[in-house]
Amino acid sequence: MSPGAGAGREDVSTLLLVPGAGGRAWYWHRLVPELESRGHRAVAVDLPAGDDAAGLERYAAVATAALDAAAGSRRDADVDGDVVVVGQSMGGLSAPLVAARRPVRLLVLLNAMVPRPGETGGQWWEAVGQAAARAELARAQGRPEDDDPDSDFSHDVPPEVWAAGADQPFAQSGTPFAEPWPLPAWPDVPTRVLAGRDDRFFPPALQRRVARERLGLDVDEVPGGHLCALSRPAELAERLDGLVRETTRPHA
């Protein structure tokens, strides 16, 4: 589909893209044009990940402000109720907070942490058994369990893209991981869970179990690993576009 080809469609949305650890909007730079070519508006968020004074509420406020700025600059339609929030990895902690603050058509968790009320991000890892699941997958694939952690993220990303990312500043404060997740319950918003079928960091089996136990949801697999927006942006955009078309607008 060529750029602008989605204009006039009733299933076009604004997609708010919330990154994981490091909080870099750059993570989404290959996905944004793919979404725009399908007629959607994509808003990639930079989070204050290096600020030790910034916790989850601040992350949510920054992401919500980015959404409000997009709505304020849009003259052809009201964005309210036509928003899809996508949270990747650690973004699963803050994306639901945005969905609780603004009318949202859909919340998408992409290789994401799924928190429980009152649980800290630091507690999440042991609570879901992430380390054991990662090690089990490495053994099954014949890889060393103590392999270079970067291989969990870079194994399917084009080398030139990975090299460009290495030039981007990276910092992640521990503050958001130390805070109890603040919502009393999961927001009352349609939610979908997408797992990269080649994710080594959050293996698909782990994501399926966590989604079932914590949200009562099944997982849809998409091509690529933990950073599939960098490795398989076209395929991911196609799946997100499909989710938009499958989900009724709240105000419809």
Query: Is residue 251 included in any domain, yes or no?
Result: no
- Please state the domain count of the chain: 1
Query: Is residue 8 included in any domain, yes or no?
Result: no
Please say whether the beta carbons of 52 and 17 come within 8 A. Answer: no
**Can you say whether the dihedral through the CA atoms of 156, 164, 27, 2 is positive or negative?**
negative
Range of the domain at 236: 14-245
Query: Is residue 19 included in any domain, yes or no?
Result: yes
Query: Is residue 224 included in any domain, yes or no?
Result: yes
CATH assignment of the domain containing 155: 3.40.50.1820
Alpha helices in the chain (DSSP H): 31-37, 56-72, 91-101, 121-128, 130-140, 150-154, 159-166, 175-178, 204-215, 228-231, 233-246
Local mean pLDDT, 10-residue blocks, the chain (252 residues) = 41 91 96 97 96 98 94 54 92 98 95 98 98 96 84 95 88 97 97 98 98 98 98 98 83 43
Query: Is residue 199 included in any domain, yes or no?
Result: yes
Please say whether the beta carbons of 130 and 206 come within 8 A. Answer: yes
pLDDT, position 67 = 94
Query: Is residue 83 included in any domain, yes or no?
Result: yes
Query: Is residue 30 included in any domain, yes or no?
Result: yes
- Alpha-carbon span 52 to 35, nearest angstrom: 33
What is the crossing angle of helices 204-215 and 121-128, to 10°? Answer: 110
Please say whether the beta carbons of 137 and 201 come within 8 A. Answer: no
Query: Is residue 174 included in any domain, yes or no?
Result: yes
